């Protein structure tokens, strides 16, 4: 399946697809935290099949990661773009 297909299957209640999305969100939290701490970017751009299908969730989970895993100076002014 494509990323968009997995997103659609999860929306239709496929438990395997939802498990894949849950795993992706967990990984996304880790990636955002590490990326912000190491590179201190101004913006993180979300794209691709998952980005198109899950943009609001990716932003929310990314913001949670910043709040819970990243020092204030590294998250100050950091935004997400779609």
Q: What percent of the chain is modeled with pLDDT above 90?
A: 68
Q: What gap in Å lies between CA 33 and CA 62, rounded to an integer? A: 8
| pLDDT value at 65 more than 80 | yes
> Each residue of 6-35: pLDDT tens digit?
999 999 999 999 999 999 999 999 999 999
15 vs 4, higher pLDDT = 15
Q: Are 19 and 55 in contact (CB under 8 A)?
A: no
The model carries a pTM of 0.83
Give the pLDDT of residue 62: 92
| pLDDT at residue number 73 | 83
User: What whole-number distance in Å separates Cα of residue 29 and Cα of residue 33?
Assistant: 6
């Amino acid at each position: 399946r494509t990323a968009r297909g997995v997103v659609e299957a999860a929306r239709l209640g496929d438990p395997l697809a939802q498990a894949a999305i849950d795993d992706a969100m967990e990984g996304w939290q880790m990636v955002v935290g590490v990326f912000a701490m190491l590179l201190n970017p101004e913006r993180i751009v979300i794209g691709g099949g998952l980005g198109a299908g899950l943009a609001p969730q990716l932003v929310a989970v990314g913001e949670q990661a910043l709040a819970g895993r990243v020092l204030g100076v590294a998250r100050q002014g950091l935004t997400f773009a779609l």
